[in-house]
């Protein structure tokens, strides 16, 4: 894994270098034409790309209008026909691949995402380069892992190595690159996962500094915390940043929904979005590209409050249109931009009110850059470290920490999802549910309970109880009155104790004399609750009662039921990672051998299955196979949402089933 991590670091660094070079080339082509190409040749391929703002101001208004539209005309068909997962900001797609597909990312994503994002940014699209490089470098890491045929768990780590190397190389931020990968992409700080990611991040940083130079992303004047009192406005600014981050997230997904409703070819929508961004850019060319040349003046405190407020509003609109229409680019740089404008605006008024006790507006712009990033990503640690590494200004760390934590608290309190996970939940993918370490919480009593408990009436004599014990496999015998109301239970251990006095008790003792109250559960309870009750009460079996009538017995559940269900669920989840890295990428009809005559295969759901739940179909009995995964088509594109099914899942038209069983049984269902 160390050698693989080094390889990922090298690959990620060169991917970032190629990506930045392409952005420079396309920016020159779109905004300067032949002069732009000449400047690239003259200044060198590795020089920093010129911000579109520098040349856009001198262009006629009609060129500002059409340049982003031309870029969208190229990007739309490129993404739609070659790799639709290259649409948007890219990080959610990587998170989904890690969580649901064992880290498998298609190799073509590297080329398509690189070209599409470079074209979008180079033509003035209001997006950043963080999301694209995460997806590009992660896809490179995934390709390396698939070529080495590593396990799904290792492949997820290698994808994290790719993401870390891309972020580290792009932003010259090795610590933040590693933290971003483990905090956002992998979500696991264990040493076995964290160590390779750190190695990749370090290697990528060293290479990028060698080729691109070691310098901060922003030129930051000297700042310091003027007085302890100043922490209060920074904390208030953190709350404001949380609201700005939420507004940004809402605007992006509102724009996506609006463009989805447009009755026009999806591949043409980025051109329309580019035209709208170009219209904004006529008056505010600051929205073009990543926007770093506008952030620097905000950090210097040289932008007026009216311009700061206007740029805050138009940047939200421009980025939302670019991403929502299908452009390819990240949301990290726009978050930095919004933070700089918000902080600069707030800091201007604070400094005017308390000139001797507060720093200039630039200090507030710097802090709020990190606070807005923390609010949108729900990753405050990454935001704090990244701002520090990008600016190399340590004096600002205390207010930065306070603002980032508060902005994250505000954002998470008002909305559970981050800008990345919200895109997945809109597709029906809940990463928290997928990653819940307690498997039993995902299982319900109704799915595993025995619907035929051992029942006995309260007036039954002792001999009847003995007959029931002999005939039953249960260890608890539930006592009901003649009206069918549950009174309690007679334990097998109690019956055994009385066997020595069987002759004397046969005509004397009835079931009602032996009944003991027992805790109960309902069909809606999870198996984690069942196991806790069984352990606390030292029981092996529980009564399952109707939730609307606690005295109506509907079934029983044992500790063995819970254990068997746990083992089956763990097997399914392991297969979800392992199978996704084989069946999911090798075709719809190929069988994968599991050994012992067993195979696993993906098939289209038979017509007879449509509209019925797995419990109703009972495929394990009817067809002698196990449904391991269900892949459901998404309305927005041709990709599929993968889930581990439960008995209440309903099979719908267009679903694909991943089934496991003996080869002859799988073949029989496949041709059903």
Which of 311-320, 393-402, 474-483, 489-498 bottoms out in mean pLDDT, i.e. has the lowest? Answer: 489-498
Q: What is the pTM of this model?
A: 0.68
Q: Which of 533, 230, 260 is nearest to 359 (CA)?
A: 230
The better pLDDT of the pair 597, 608 is held by: 608
Share of the chain above pLDDT 90, in %: 17
Radius of gyration of the chain (CA): 31
What would the pLDDT profile of 126-184 be if each residue is shown by its tens digit?
A: 888 888 888 888 888 888 888 887 777 788 888 889 889 988 888 888 888 888 888 78
Q: Which residue stretches of 472-608 are H helix? A: 492-498, 502-505, 511-514, 527-537, 559-580, 583-586
What would the pLDDT profile of 343-381 be if each residue is shown by its tens digit?
A: 999 989 988 888 877 788 888 898 999 999 999 988 888
Q: What is the pLDDT of residue 437?
A: 59
Give the Cα separation of 39 and 205 in Å (integer): 27
DSSP 408-459: HHHHHHH-SS-TTHHHHHTTT--HHHHH-S-GGGG-BHHHH-BSS--EEETT
- Measured in residues, the chain has a length of 672
Q: What is the pLDDT of residue 310?
A: 94
Give the Cα separation of 245 and 237 in Å (integer): 12
Q: What is the pLDDT of residue 190?
A: 59
Tell me phi and psi for residue 359, to 5 degrees.
Answer: -80, 175
Tokens of 477: 């015998």
With a cut of 90, say whether residue 251 has pLDDT above it: yes
Q: Which residues of 291-302 are buried (b: 16+ CB within 10 A; e: fewer)?
A: bbebbbbbbbbe
With a cut of 50, say whether residue 82 has pLDDT above it: yes
Average pLDDT (541-567) is 86
Q: Are 539 and 476 in contact (CB under 8 A)?
A: yes
Give the Cα separation of 75 and 603 in Å (integer): 33
Average pLDDT (452-458) is 85
Secondary structure of residue 252 in the 3-state scheme: helix
Q: What is the pLDDT of residue 486?
A: 87
For residue 109, the number of C-alpha atoms closer than 13 Å in the C-beta half-sphere is: 28
With a cut of 90, say whether residue 80 has pLDDT above it: no
Secondary structure of residue 69 in the 3-state scheme: helix
Q: What is the pLDDT of residue 580?
A: 46
Specify which of 17-21, 271-275, 668-672 reaches the highest per-range mean pLDDT: 271-275
Q: What is the pLDDT of residue 246?
A: 95
- Mean pLDDT of all residues in the chain? 82
DSSP summary character for residue 164: H
Lookup result for tokens 């850019």: 281
Tell me phi and psi for residue 489, to 5 degrees.
Answer: -140, 155
Q: What is the pLDDT of residue 595?
A: 58
What would the pLDDT profile of 519-530 be if each residue is shown by its tens digit?
A: 889 988 888 888
What would the pLDDT profile of 91-132 be if each residue is shown by its tens digit?
A: 888 887 777 666 777 778 788 888 988 899 888 888 888 888
Q: What is the pLDDT of residue 581?
A: 45
Give the Cα separation of 124 and 132 in Å (integer): 15
* β 598-604/656-662 pair status: antiparallel
The better pLDDT of the pair 624, 574 is held by: 624
The better pLDDT of the pair 402, 28 is held by: 402
With a cut of 70, say whether residue 579 has pLDDT above it: no
With a cut of 50, say whether residue 12 has pLDDT above it: yes
Which of 311-315, 325-329, 470-474 bottoms out in mean pLDDT, i.e. has the lowest? Answer: 470-474
DSSP 168-206: HHHHT-HHHHHHHIIIIII----HHHHHHHHHHHHHHHH
Q: What is the pLDDT of residue 337?
A: 93
Helix (H) or strand (E) segment spanning residue 630:
strand 625-633
Give the Cα separation of 86 and 88 in Å (integer): 6
Which of 227-231, 477-481, 630-634 bottoms out in mean pLDDT, i.e. has the lowest? Answer: 630-634
Q: Which domains does the chain have, with CATH numbers?
A: 2-212 (1.10.3080.10), 228-265+283-433 (1.10.3080.10), 442-560 (3.10.580.10), 582-670 (3.30.70.1450)
Specify which of 150-154, 289-293, 440-444, 594-598 reaches the highest per-range mean pLDDT: 289-293
Secondary structure of residue 486 in the 3-state scheme: strand
Q: Find all residues with CB under 8 Å of 168, minimum gap 6, and list them.
A: 12, 174, 176, 177, 178, 200, 201, 202, 204, 205, 208
Q: Is 182 exposed, middle or buried (0-12, 13-18, 19+ CB in 10 A)?
A: buried
Q: 286: pLDDT confidence band, cut at 50, 70 and 90? A: confident
Q: Is 367 exposed, middle or buried (0-12, 13-18, 19+ CB in 10 A)?
A: buried
* Percent helix / strand / coil, the chain, rounded to 5: 65, 10, 25
């Amino acid at each position: 894994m160390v050698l693989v991590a080094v390889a990922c670091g090298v690959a990620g660094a060169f991917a970032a270098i190629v990506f930045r070079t392409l952005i420079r080339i396309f920016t020159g082509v779109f905004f300067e034409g032949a002069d732009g190409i000449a400047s690239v040749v003259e200044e060198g391929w590795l020089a920093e790309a010129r911000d579109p703002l520098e040349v856009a101001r001198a262009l006629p208004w009609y060129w500002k209008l059409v340049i982003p539209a031309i870029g969208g005309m190229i990007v739309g068909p490129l993404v739609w026909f070659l790799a639709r997962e290259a649409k948007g900001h890219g990080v959610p797609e990587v998170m989904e691949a890690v969580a649901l597909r064992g880290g498998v990312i298609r190799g073509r994503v590297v080329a398509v995402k690189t070209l599409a994002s470079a074209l979008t940014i180079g033509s003035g699209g209001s997006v950043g380069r963080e999301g694209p490089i995460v997806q590009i470098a992660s896809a490179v890491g995934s390709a390396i892992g698939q070529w080495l045929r590593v396990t799904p768990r290792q492949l997820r780590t290698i994808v994290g190595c790719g993401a870390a190397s891309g972020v580290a190389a792009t932003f010259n931020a090795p610590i933040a690159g590693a933290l971003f990968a483990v905090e956002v992409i992998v979500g696991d700080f264990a040493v076995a996962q964290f160590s390779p990611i750190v190695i990749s991040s370090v290697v990528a940083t060293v290479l990028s500094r060698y080729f691109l130079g070691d310098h901060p992303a922003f030129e930051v004047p000297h700042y310091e915390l003027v007085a302890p009192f100043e922490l209060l406005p920074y904390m208030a600014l953190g709350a404001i940043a949380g609201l700005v981050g939420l507004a940004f997230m809402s605007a992006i997904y509102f724009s996506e929904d609006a463009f989805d409703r447009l009755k026009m070819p999806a591949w043409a929508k980025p051109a329309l979005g580019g035209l709208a961004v170009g219209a904004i850019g006529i008056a505010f060319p600051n929205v073009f590209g990543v926007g770093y040349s506008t952030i620097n003046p905000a950090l210097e405190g040289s932008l007026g409050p009216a311009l700061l407020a206007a740029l805050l509003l138009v940047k939200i609109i421009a980025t939302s249109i670019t991403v929502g229409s299908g452009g390819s680019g990240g949301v990290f740089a726009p978050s930095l931009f919004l933070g700089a404008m918000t902080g600069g605006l707030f800091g201007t008024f604070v400094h005017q009110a308390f000139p001797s006790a507060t720093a200039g507006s630039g200090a507030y712009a710097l802090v709020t850059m990190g606070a807005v990033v923390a609010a949108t990503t729900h990753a405050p640690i990454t935001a704090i470290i990244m701002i520090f590494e990008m600016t190399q200004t340590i004096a600002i760390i205390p207010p930065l920490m306070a603002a980032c934590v508060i902005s994250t608290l505000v954002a998470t309190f008002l909305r559970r999802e981050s800008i990345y996970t919200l895109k997945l939940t809109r597709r029906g993918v809940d990463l928290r549910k997928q990653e819940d370490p307690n498997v039993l919480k995902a299982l319900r009593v109704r799915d595993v309970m025995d619907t035929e408990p051992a029942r006995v009436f309260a007036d039954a004599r002792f001999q009847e109880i003995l007959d029931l014990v002999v005939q039953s496999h249960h260890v608890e015998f539930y006592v009901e009155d003649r009206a069918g109301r549950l009174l309690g239970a007679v334990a097998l251990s109690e019956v055994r104790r009385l066997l020595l006095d069987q002759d004397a008790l046969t005509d004397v003792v009835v079931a009602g004399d032996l009944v003991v109250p027992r805790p109960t559960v309902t069909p809606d309870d999870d198996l984690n609750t069942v196991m806790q009750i069984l352990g606390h009460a030292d029981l092996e079996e529980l009564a399952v009662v109707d939730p609307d009538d606690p005295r109506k017995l509907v079934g029983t559940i044992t500790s063995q039921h819970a254990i068997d269900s746990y083992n089956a669920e763990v097997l399914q989840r392991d297969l979800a990672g392992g199978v996704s890295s084989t069946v999911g990428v090798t075709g719809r009809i190929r069988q994968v051998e599991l050994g012992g005559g067993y195979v696993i295969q993906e098939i289209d759901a038979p017509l007879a299955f449509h509209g019925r739940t797995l419990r109703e179909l009972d495929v394990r009995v009817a067809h002698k196979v196990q449904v391991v995964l269900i892949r459901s088509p998404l309305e927005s594109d041709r990709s599929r949402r993968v889930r581990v099914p439960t008995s209440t899942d309903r099979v719908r038209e267009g679903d694909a089933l991943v089934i496991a069983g003996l080869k002859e049984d799988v073949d029989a269902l496949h041709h059903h």
